[in-house]
Amino acid sequence: MFEAESFVREQVAIVREKIEGNAIIACSGGVDSTVAAAIVNEAIGDRLLTIYVDTGLMRKGETEEVAGMLDDLGLNYKIVDASEEFFNALEGISDPEEKRKAIGERFIRVFEREAKAFDADYLVQGTIAPDWIESGDEFRDTIKSHHNVGGIPEEMGLELIEPLRDLYKDEVRIIARHLGVKVSERQPFPGPALAIRVLGEVTRENVEIVRNACYIAEDEIEMAAKKGIMELPWQYFAVLLPVQSVGVHGDARVYGKTVVVRAVKSIDGMSAAYSRIPHEVLEKISVRITNEMKRQVNRVVYDITNKPPGTIEWE
């Protein structure tokens, strides 16, 4: 049986011993980075600066929610508004891997600046065992290295601190519960965030549409699961397609965008089955999206593809 209390005690002692000056950690509000931040905070207090980068690509209310959570945990944190620079970096890019690269690069530049300003010698990361155990899959390694802002320590001469390195997700969740970290049950969310849920070019307008659509899909699905109408899927969201189809507005035929609703059942994201969302729930999602965004979206479709052959995300 995994013992959260003794694990935390032991790691706090190790971290306290290792870190002599200041440290920074990038925290997106995800369970791994938040738990890592909480442990290091316990060890060195305000000598740890937790950085949340507002990329402009996060879900509705996410920045406020994460800030509230970091407050509750008593962390010394800073919210860096970098949305302008992320949107500029994404301008004109439609290729998914180019998007990931541009985003990874931006994260690195932001951290470089922040680490320098805080005079940090250490970089804390919420790396867990599946992130480094060889998967034999280069693509996945690339994903993780972007997500965990790989390359920073070597480039910047920062020493890496990874208190969760030997743990699996279920163990991190046990620690999260033990420490009262609220994010512990959240659905997975990709590092490049909503940028890979806007197919084609990422503009502020398109991100706003997909942000609202994701919110509506999440909201209706969570309400339905609470009522017992359906099981809560492992992951559930919306995607905006660069496809215009015809619709009616009063007497006029007008073109509007298409939103896909995606929901899957999975254990680890490696394979997945599409979720059987009841039609009444799908209809509510569709009506809300097309009502609340009538000028932009006129069609909602449901993705019924398993993984493989599809992936969970569309990019």
Per CB under 6 A, residues contacting ligand XMP are: 100, 143, 147, 188, 190-192, 235, 269, 307, 311-313
22 vs 305 by CB, closer to ligand XMP? 305
44 vs 272 by CB, closer to ligand XMP? 272
Find out whether 75 and 37 touch, Cβ atoms under 8 Å: yes
Tokens for 285, please give them.
């999602």
147 vs 173 by CB, closer to ligand XMP? 147
DSSP 198: B
How far is the C-alpha of 47 from the C-alpha of 66, rounded, in Å? Answer: 20
277-295 burial, b for 16+ CB within 10 Å, e for fewer? Answer: beeebbebbbebbbeebee
Find out whether 4 and 164 touch, Cβ atoms under 8 Å: no
Tokens for 197, please give them.
């849920």
200 vs 247 by CB, closer to ligand XMP? 200
Q: At its nearest, how many Å lie between ligand XMP and the CB of residue 119? A: 29
Q: At its nearest, how many Å lie between ligand XMP and the CB of residue 189? A: 7
Tokens for 162, please give them.
């990874």
Q: At its nearest, how many Å lie between ligand XMP and the CB of residue 208? A: 20
Q: At its nearest, how many Å lie between ligand XMP and the CB of residue 154? A: 21
169 vs 178 by CB, closer to ligand XMP? 169
Q: At its nearest, how many Å lie between ligand XMP and the CB of residue 188? A: 4
Element spanning 124, H or E? strand 120-124
